[in-house]
């Protein structure tokens, strides 16, 4: 995992983001800081405990679609690719390949969840 992370002002200065409680905003920043090079976090509950965030903070991030959660408990930052651009020679592929296959990158470079059954069709588009 890289040691440097970026944040897009377009996302974190938006009214949608700034209307959330400070604790929810802090959780979002900490999730981003601890994500792998594709935006996946396998230990979101540990991060929540570490910073004193509540389950409501995570529910709010999920409801406002700042993050997506998978059945496995893995979380991905929806706008990860807007925040961070990692050079191909430094990029380390996520270990969460099953979850990665359930996403596609859309025009603005954010992630979208694929409908169930469509993962194999869009696999080539995600990279």
- pLDDT band, very low/low/confident/very high, at 3 (cuts 50, 70, 90): confident
Domain membership of residue 127 (yes or no) is no
Structural domain containing residue 66: 9-113
Domain membership of residue 119 (yes or no) is no
Domain membership of residue 86 (yes or no) is yes
Q: Which helix (H) or strand (E) segment is 80 a member of?
A: helix 80-83
In a 13 Å sphere around the CA of 110, the CA atoms on its Cβ side amount to: 13
This prediction's pTM: 0.86
pLDDT at residue 53 is higher than 50: yes
Domain membership of residue 118 (yes or no) is no
72-127 pLDDT tens trace: 999 999 999 999 988 888 889 999 999 999 999 898 889 999 887 665 554 444 44
């Amino acid at each position: 995992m890289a040691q440097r992370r970026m944040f897009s002002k377009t996302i974190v200065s938006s009214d949608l983001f700034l209307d959330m409680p400070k604790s929810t905003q802090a959780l979002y920043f900490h999730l981003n800081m601890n994500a792998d090079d594709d935006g996946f976090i396998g230990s979101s509950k540990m991060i929540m405990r570490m910073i004193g965030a509540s389950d409501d903070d995570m529910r709010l991030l999920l409801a406002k679609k700042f993050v997506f959660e998978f059945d496995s408990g893995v979380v991905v930052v929806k706008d990860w690719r807007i925040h961070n651009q990692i050079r191909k020679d430094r990029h380390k592929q996520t270990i969460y390949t099953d979850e990665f296959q359930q996403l596609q990158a859309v025009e603005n470079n954010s992630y979208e969840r694929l409908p169930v059954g469509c993962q194999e069709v869009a696999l080539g588009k995600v990279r």
